[in-house]
Every structure is written in structure tokens, then in C-alpha cells.
Amino acid sequence: MSTPTIYDIAARAGVGIATVSRVINGSRRVSEKTRKSVQKAMSDLGFRPNNAARRLAAGAPNRPRVVALMPFFTTAFYFNVCKALSRKLAAAGTDLVLVDARGQEEADRHLDRLLAERSCEGVVLCSMDLSEGRKEQFDILHIPVIALDFHAQAIPHVRVDNIEGGRLLSQTLTAGGSKKQALIIGTRHAHAFRDREAGFLQACPPGSRVVECEWDAVDSGAAATRELLESFAGMDGIACGGDTLAVGVLKALREAKRKIPDDIQIVGFDDMPMMDFMNLTTIRQPMEDFGSWGGDAILKLIRTPGGPPPDSVVLPLEVVYRGTTRQNPETAGLH
Amino acid sequence: MSTPTIYDIAARAGVGIATVSRVINGSRRVSEKTRKSVQKAMSDLGFRPNNAARRLAAGAPNRPRVVALMPFFTTAFYFNVCKALSRKLAAAGTDLVLVDARGQEEADRHLDRLLAERSCEGVVLCSMDLSEGRKEQFDILHIPVIALDFHAQAIPHVRVDNIEGGRLLSQTLTAGGSKKQALIIGTRHAHAFRDREAGFLQACPPGSRVVECEWDAVDSGAAATRELLESFAGMDGIACGGDTLAVGVLKALREAKRKIPDDIQIVGFDDMPMMDFMNLTTIRQPMEDFGSWGGDAILKLIRTPGGPPPDSVVLPLEVVYRGTTRQNPETAGLH
DNA sequence: CTGTTAGCGCATTCAT
DNA sequence: ATGAATGCGCTAACAG
């Protein structure tokens, strides 16, 4: 026997299924004695009530569920997405199921499951691509899919232009006079990072360098910087794929007693909370908007299955000039 | 008619229910013509398939769901909790449903719903109390509940000793010579903050002040500091209920050209990422451990319903000495 | 290609 | 206090 049902429990305890049901639901109209024996039977057999059956029989409302697949490798960005998403969905009586999927393989396993079990009515993909043919699978089942932070082919998405962002990274340094630039950027498998890298390479002066970090962490940024300081003499500007890395750069440069921005300029990406305080020049992306657009979009698709898909959106990027670059008149020179 | 079923659709489209089911599931064994008419009937009636019924009929695995109720007022702490929780649960084939509940009323609404709909097999409460009688309601339905970051009465929990933490806050300043201290702390309805405040008041020198901020944000900390600077002359130490506030303090003090730690010492709470870089002395709580303990605990309770509840845990607090207080020999004097 | 039928596992009358 | 019977909405054979 696979997973036991109340029939199995009832048989084992020598009672009717109604009694088992009563015990499960804590009815007080059961004698202490039979309750005990039913509970024993349940734990003997490792019984777990089937939630779908309970909800169906009880006539529970049919709450939609949205599954959000996200790679938790960066702090502030995904957190803000979660926050906005959960608010939007909660307001619509929709559950948000969070799935932490690192890498495409892991994401694919989850997507296969969602498809097989039809266990959600909407999918929000964060910073991920959809494998070949996946879109069609979801279409067949009428499960809407949207993408955040990635330009997935045929599905509605919200994103920024990361290639443009990469260009801005270099241009910001160039505007401040940098001639020999380096880009420190996160994991290769993150599409956003790859795009920023491509944009940077389009705009940077010849002879620039790119250093790739496994982790988007302060220490990675610091380590990469130390290495650059040794091997890339004359470097006068460092761009970072994310603010966290940039903080590491600041740290390493401080240790090396380099002057910022006079000696070396720095520019980050994201404008995470507190970068203001760090006085870091950075490229801001409106993180909160990703989540709220995503919430609205997936809800709309769930509600009007036949309707037109929401228009994809490219959110604006903005250079926030602060003290780590030279084009800003009021350079604070904190560092 | 309330919510339409496939019978309604079938009747309206003049077909059998199996055909409707085929259309829903994208079977290709349906003529284009009948498919259209069924789809029209579905959108006319606003049909949404009942997920519970689908899963039951299809024999889908009975995936447990854990609902995590969390107040999203602080970034790093809850983010780390989510991260660890989602990992643990995913590894066990359990869904994590995230619910953003600000305040007790909102939390109670959700709890009522969970109880009424029996829509989850476990609840993780973050930084929240359980109203009177709630524990019993969940007990009756055999839905386990655990608490994170709060000492809820009868339910297993993981927390730090925030009263002790509050004391440490003051003691750390005192150890560096502070005689006139202020505490800047977050919203009153957060239990953790209240406890830290109580602990601070136990340990602080007479005549100390407490300032309460509505939001746990950099700007709040800065505003509170400016106010203190005006109205609380002679202040030589500021403790903060969280690192975010402390960053605001640093900012305001920098603007006011106060020397840290010589003039005024500062201590924060949490040891969020990057506080290292900020050179902030702070009280570290092991944020990641909250989530992983929580994941293990709720899984254990779900798996062995009759078994003994996991032991509650009080995680250790640690003073991380850095440059904003005086007892540290290697004061960097960054500010 | 389409309709009929029989459960899925449980909550719930309605009896007893 | 307890058991038998009915149905929740849907999928999946099985017929046609």
C-alpha cells in the first residue's frame, strides 16, 4: 500500500472513516478511547491527510498559487522583488510560493514538476531563461509565465537594458577621465551580468580588463581588486557588476591607500540601500518596480486567460553620481 | 451559480465533461471547432479549474506546504531567514508560502484563514506573537507552529536574548567610557525592539534617553541623531536597535563633524553584511541560523506529528568590536 | 474525436 | 458516540 488513507486507518483502528475524520479535525464528539486508538493507527501507518482531498471535500476556496523561481545570489535585489510581489499577490488572495533555484538545471527540475503536477496557476521567473520548448508546455496547460530581470523570448517580461547599463558603467568612468578600466562582475551564468559585461566591452577604452567573480560578495570584490592592483598597473577606473562587489573594491582600495576618485574612480550597479552613505557612484535600477510589475502582470494573466498579454517593460536606468567618480562637482572624498 | 465547474462548461458548450477536461489539459485529441466552443464557454463563465480537484483526481503527490508569516520591515534579517528556510524546505519537497504580514491584525487575518481552509501543514511565525487561544486552534487541527525571533509561549522557538542584547548595547558603550547614552530603536510593535529597549534601560547610566523611530531606516536614524544632538547635550554614546539605524547615525554624525569614537561612540545591532566595511561596532545575531533551525524544526513536526517538539533554542549574541567604540585597540577612525 | 463511468481522499449529513 | 452513504470537481480509462 502506498500512502495510507483514512480507510486504512479506519480498518486498522476498527472504526468507520467518519470517526477517523473526526479525530483528524479535532471534533470533541469522539470518546477518548477511540481517539487514542485512531491516533495510534495514524502514527503506526504514518498517515498524512491529503490536502487536496480535504480542500475539495470541505469546499475550500480555490486559492490560486503563483510560484516564483529565484536565484538567491544577491541580497537586496531579490528581496525587494519578493516584497513587492508578495504584497501584490496577497492583496489578490493569491499565494506566493517561493522557490530558490540556483542555475538552470535546478530551475528546470522545478518547472518539470510544476508542469507534471499542475501545481500552480502562474509562474514568475526571476533572472532566468526558459529552456527550449518550455513556453509551449506551459501554454498547453494555460499556465501563464512571466519573466523578471530577463529578456525571455516570447514571454512578457520586465527588465532594464543591461547592455546599456554596461555601457553606462564604462562611460561614467570615461567621463571622469579614466583611460584604463577594469570591470569586476559576478557569475557567468547570470544573464544580467553577461549583458552588462557585453555593454561594458562595447564602450570601454581598448586594453580594458574584465575579472569574473564566482560570488557576488564583498570579499570577492576585494580579492579581485587586489589582484588587479598587482597585475594591471595604471588602472584608473573600476566598474562593478553590482554594488556589493563595489563595496569590496572600496575596501581593498582603502587598504591599499589609493585615493578615490583622484587615483582610481569606482562605479557600481543597483544603488542598493546604503550606497548613498557609502558615497558610491552607481547605476540605479528601480528594484521595487520589478516586483510590482510582476505581480500585476501575472495576476492579469491568471484572471483573464484569453486576454492580451501585458506589455513587456524596460525600466529606466539612472546614473547616480556620488563621490567615487570625478564628474560630480561636490565630490565628498570620503575615502 | 457560484463558481462554475466543468459540468457547467460542458452543458453550455454542448459537450461532455471529458472534452472540457481535454481542452483544459491541452489534449490534441479535440477538434479545433469544439475546442473553440469550449474555450468560449470557459471564458464566458469565467471558469477556473479547481486545483484541489485536479490534484486529487490526477493523483498528484501530496506536497506539504509551510506558510511563513513575516513582517518585512527589515531587509537583511528576514532575507536571510527566507533564504535558509526555502533551502531546507525545498530539500524536503515542501513548499514555502511567503506571507507578508505587518502587524498583529494582519497576521491574525491570515491565521484565521489558514485555520478555516486548513491550507497548510505547518506555520512559521517570524517576530510575531500568537493571540490568545491560537495555539489550541492549531493543536486541534494538528498543524504545527513554530516561532522565529520571538519567545512565543508554548510553541517551539528560536531566538536570541534580546534583553541581554539591549544590555550589551549599553555595556559596550559604558566599557568605552560613555556616561550619557541614547538608544535609537525601531517601531514599538516589534517585540525584539521592545526587549532590547528593556535591556538597555536595565544597564544604562541614569539619565539616558530612548528615541523611537517609526521606520528602521537610514534616514530615521539620521533624523533621530540630529534631534538628539540638539536636545541632549553631552551625549557621548549612541546605541541602535539595528544596524540600519546605526548607519543613519554615522551619517548624521559625519555631517555634524563629530569625532567617532572619541567624541561619541556608536554601537549597532545585527551585524548586517557590510557593517564590517562600515567599521561599525555591533551586536551580532546569527541570522542564517534562525532560518535553518526553523526549517528543521517545522519539518520534524510535520513528519512526526505525535513526536516530541523540537527544543527551543536561544542563539548566542556576540559583540563585534570595530571602530566606532573605544575598547577596541585597533580603532580605524574611518569617519 | 467524443461521451460515460468510475474513482481520487476526505468532510459531512443522516442515521443509529 | 459512531457508521454508512453521498458528493466535492476533476482526470483517466474505457467505450463508442
pLDDT at A333: 41
Which nucleotide is closest to the Cα of B60 by its C1'?
A: C8
Assess whether pLDDT exceeds 90 at residue B190: no
User: Is the C-beta of residue B59 closer than 7 Å to nucleic acid chain C?
Assistant: yes
Q: Is A48 in contact with B121 (Cβ distance < 8 A)? A: yes
pLDDT at A315: 96
- In Å, what is the CA distance from A242 to each residue of A157, A197, A284, A301, B87? 21, 12, 10, 32, 24
- In Å, what is the CA distance from B109 to each residue of A147, B64, B252? 31, 21, 40
Which nucleotide is closest to the Cα of B17 by its C1'?
A: C3
DSSP assignment string, B129-189: ---TTHHHHHHHTT--EEEESS--SSS-EEEE-HHHHHHHHHHHHHHTT-SSEEEEE--TT
Nearest to B247 among A48, A247, A277 (CB): A277
Of B140 and B145, the one with more pLDDT = B145
User: Is the C-beta of residue A143 closer than 7 Å to nucleic acid chain D?
Assistant: no
A26 to chain B: which residues are within 8 Å by CB? Answer: 139-142
Nearest to A305 among B43, B251, B277 (CB): B43
Q: Are residues A308 and A282 in the same domain?
A: no
pLDDT at B335: 41
A92 touches chain B (CB under 8 A): no
pLDDT at B328: 53
Question: Within 10 Å of residue A158's Cβ, how many Cβ atoms?
Answer: 25
**pLDDT, average across residues B295-313:** 91
Q: How far is A324 from chain B (nearest CA, A)?
A: 16
User: Is the C-beta of residue A60 closer than 7 Å to nucleic acid chain C?
Assistant: no
Q: Is B56 in contact with A53 (Cβ distance < 8 A)? A: yes
Question: What is the CATH classification number for the domain harbouring B79?
Answer: 3.40.50.2300
Q: Of A320, A220, A225, which is closest to residue A269 (Cα–Cα)?
A: A320
User: Is the C-beta of residue A21 closer than 7 Å to nucleic acid chain C?
Assistant: yes
- In Å, what is the CA distance from B72 to each residue of A13, B68, B77? 46, 12, 9
The whole domain housing A300 covers: 50-159+290-315
| Amino acid found at A49 | P
Q: How far is A313 from chain B (nearest CA, A)?
A: 26
All three cell numbers of A57, joined, read 471535500
Nearest to A51 among B62, B140, B276 (CB): B62
All three cell numbers of A320, joined, read 547616480
pLDDT at A312: 95
**pLDDT, average across residues B143-151:** 92
| Per-residue tens of pLDDT for chain A, all 335 residues | 578 999 999 999 999 999 999 999 988 989 999 999 999 999 999 999 999 999 999 999 999 999 999 987 666 788 888 889 999 999 999 999 999 888 888 999 999 999 988 889 999 999 888 888 899 999 988 899 999 998 877 899 999 999 999 999 999 999 999 999 999 998 877 788 999 999 999 999 999 999 999 888 889 999 999 999 999 999 999 999 999 999 999 999 999 999 999 999 999 999 988 898 899 999 999 988 999 999 999 999 998 877 899 999 999 999 999 999 997 544 444 44
Q: What is the mean pLDDT of chain B?
A: 91
Q: Is B274 in contact with A274 (Cβ distance < 8 A)? A: yes
Question: Within 10 Å of residue B308's Cβ, how many Cβ atoms?
Answer: 9
Q: Is B51 in contact with A90 (Cβ distance < 8 A)? A: no
Q: Are residues A82 and A213 in the same domain?
A: no
A52 to chain B: which residues are within 8 Å by CB? Answer: 51-56, 60, 62
Nearest to B98 among A96, A251, A276 (CB): A96
Question: Cα A32 vs. chain centroid, distance in angstroms?
Answer: 50
Give the tens place of pLDDT for each residue, B47-86: 999 999 999 999 999 999 999 999 876 667 888 888 899 9
Considering only CA atoms, name the residue closest to the C1' of nucleotide D4: A16
Q: Is A117 in contact with B61 (Cβ distance < 8 A)? A: yes
User: Is the C-beta of residue A154 closer than 7 Å to nucleic acid chain C?
Assistant: no
- In Å, what is the CA distance from A152 to each residue of A68, A132, A191, A193, A242? 15, 11, 10, 15, 22
Q: Are residues B56 and B80 in the same domain?
A: yes
A2 touches chain B (CB under 8 A): no
pLDDT at A334: 41
Protein CA A223 to sugar C1' D10 (Å): 57
User: Cis before residue A309, ω within 30 degrees of 0?
Assistant: no
Instruction: Enumerate the β-bridge partners of residue A125.
Output: A69, A147
Torsion of CA A161, A202, A266, A74, to 10 degrees: 40
Q: Are residues B128 and B216 in the same domain?
A: no
The SS3 call for residue A331 is coil
Q: Which nucleotides of D are covered by protein (CB under 7 A)?
A: 1-5, 7-14
Report chain A's C-alpha Rg in angstroms. Answer: 27
Q: Is A56 in contact with B65 (Cβ distance < 8 A)? A: no
Q: Are residues B198 and B262 in the same domain?
A: yes
- Closest chain A residue by Cα to residue B245: A274
Q: Is B141 in contact with A43 (Cβ distance < 8 A)? A: no
Q: Are residues B153 and B71 in the same domain?
A: yes
The answer to whether the beta carbons of residues B104 and B131 sit under 8 Å apart is yes
Torsion of CA B195, B111, B85, B64, to 10 degrees: 160
pLDDT at A190: 79
User: Is the C-beta of residue A13 closer than 7 Å to nucleic acid chain D?
Assistant: no
Q: Is the dihedral of CA A43, A48, A53, A57 positive or negative?
A: positive
- In Å, what is the CA distance from B203 to each residue of B143, B184, B193? 40, 15, 16
Which of B25, B30, B69, B100 best probes binding to A when mutated, by most A CB atoms within 10 angstroms?
B100
Which nucleotide is closest to the Cα of B29 by its C1'?
A: C1
Question: What is the CATH classification number for the domain harbouring B26?
Answer: 1.10.260.40
Protein CA A54 to sugar C1' C13 (Å): 16
Least confidently predicted of A69-73, A245-249, B167-171, B179-183: A69-73
pLDDT at B333: 41
pLDDT at B73: 66
* Number of domains present in the structure of chain A: 3
A65-70 and A95-100 beta bridge pairing: parallel
Q: Which nucleotides of C are covered by protein (CB under 7 A)?
A: 1-5, 7-14
Residues 32-71 of A with CB under 7 A from strand D: 33-35, 53, 56-57, 59
Q: Would you give the DSSP letter of residue A127? A: S
Q: Are residues B136 and B241 in the same domain?
A: no
B291 to chain A: which residues are within 8 Å by CB? Answer: none
Q: Are residues A186 and A323 in the same domain?
A: yes
Give the tens place of pLDDT for each residue, B83-115: 899 999 999 999 999 998 888 889 999 999 999
Sequence-separated (6 or more) residues with CB below 8 Å from residue A36 = none
pLDDT at B129: 87
Instruction: Enumerate the β-bridge partners of residue A95.
Output: A65
Q: Are residues B196 and B255 in the same domain?
A: yes
A97 to chain B: which residues are within 8 Å by CB? Answer: 65, 95-98
A247 to chain B: which residues are within 8 Å by CB? Answer: 274, 277
Q: Are residues A311 and A256 in the same domain?
A: no
A305 to chain B: which residues are within 8 Å by CB? Answer: 42-43
Q: Are residues B205 and B273 in the same domain?
A: yes
Which positions 184-213 of B are in contact with A (Cβ < 8 Å)? none
Q: Are residues B146 and B207 in the same domain?
A: no
Entry field: residues in chain A: 335
